[in-house]
Structure 1
Amino acid sequence: MNKILIVDDELNNRLLLQEMLEDFEEDGTQLLFAADGAEALAIIQSEMPALVFLDIMLPEMDGFEVCHTVKSKLGLQNIFFAMLTAKSQAADRRKALDVKADMYITKPFKPKVIIDVVNKVFRA
């Protein structure tokens, strides 16, 4: 079963992504949700989602730290990380690359971008 983890401390952002991904959910993809970095890390380790939409500014542990922990410390290179953030500075983009994020998407984003990411990951 395909699994997608949506990590954002704002409930409205989680609900918006859930709405964008409802067609995938209807086709059997399981959507998982986390409101902070520590919760995200626990879900990643227990559920092994194929794709994580990850906000950067999170309580407990920021998105950069979550991605770095999963990719470098746990060695889970096969999990695709799409950073979803309001941070649009070049330094933030470089930091996302440094922690091995697969994609960097700034808010606000278009639904087509999100759907294209899911299709790319699940077709790979």
Structure 2
Amino acid sequence: MSNSTGNTIVAILVGAAIGAGVGILFAPDKGSKTREKLKDGFDDAKHNLQDKLHDVSESIKSKIVIAKDDIDGNYDNIVSSLSHKTEDVISFLENKLADLKLKNAKFQK
């Protein structure tokens, strides 16, 4: 390492140490108060995140309930429609059976 690079690194380290010392001396609050403020800030952020997570969770739950109701309604409509179509098919087949019985009766005479 050259002498110039070594002097630069030493100057940076000394400057950082002096800056940290001055910062501590002129800090508006004691360290315990600063730590308390940081803790309160983290607690607030945690509560905000929990509230947002709860809101998203409730939104998803309500959408699932709506989707389930839609599926139930569609299922009921499909079953009803199939029931009507089944009745139509049964009626058609009964009419065809009656026609076939008449035709068969004519052949048996």
TM range (shorter): under 0.3
Bigger fraction of residues in strand: 1
When the two structures are superposed, what TM-score results if normalisation uses the length of structure 2?
0.15
Answer 1 or 2: which has greater helix percent. Answer: 2
Pick 1 or 2: higher relative contact order, CA cutoff 8 A, min separation 6: 1
Superposition TM-score, scaled by structure 1 size? 0.13
